[in-house]
Amino acid sequence: MVPIYGRDIADGTYAVEVESTSVFFKIIEAELTVRGDEMTANITIGSRSYLYVYMGTAEQAGNTPEGDWIPGDEGQRFTVFTIPVPALNAPFECAAYSRNRQTWYDRQLLIDASALPEDALAFELPDYELVEKAIIAFAPDGEAALDDDEAEAARPAPLEPVSLPRSDGEYSIEVNLAGGSGRANVSSPTLLIVREGKA
Q: What digits encode the pLDDT tens for the residues 88-143?
A: 999 999 999 999 999 999 999 999 998 899 899 987 777 777 877 777 776 665 45
Q: Summarize pLDDT for 146-158 with one digit per residue, the tens.
A: 555 665 555 555 6
Q: Summarize pLDDT for 36-81 with one digit per residue, the tens.
A: 999 999 999 999 999 999 999 999 999 999 999 999 999 989 999 9
Chosen CATH of 6-120 out of 2.60.40.10, 2.60.40.1850, 1.10.3470.10, 3.40.50.1100: 2.60.40.1850
Q: Does position 172 have pLDDT exceeding 80, yes or no? A: yes
Q: Does position 86 have pLDDT exceeding 90, yes or no? A: yes
CB 18 within 8 A of CB 91: no
Band of pLDDT at residue 177, cut at 50, 70 and 90: confident
Which one-letter amino acid corresponds to residue 124?
E
Mean pLDDT of the chain: 87
Band of pLDDT at residue 162, cut at 50, 70 and 90: confident
Instruction: Give the separation between CA 78 and CA 169, rounded to whole angstroms.
Output: 41
pLDDT for residue 31: 98
CB 107 within 8 A of CB 95: yes
Domain(s) labelled CATH 2.60.40.1850 in the chain stretch across: 6-120
Task: Note if the pTM is more than 0.85.
Answer: no
Instruction: Give the separation between CA 180 and CA 79, rounded to whole angstroms.
Output: 54
- The order of strands in the sheet holding 17-20 is 17-20, 108-112, 92-93
pLDDT for residue 183: 64
Summary count for the chain: helices (H), strands (E): 3, 14
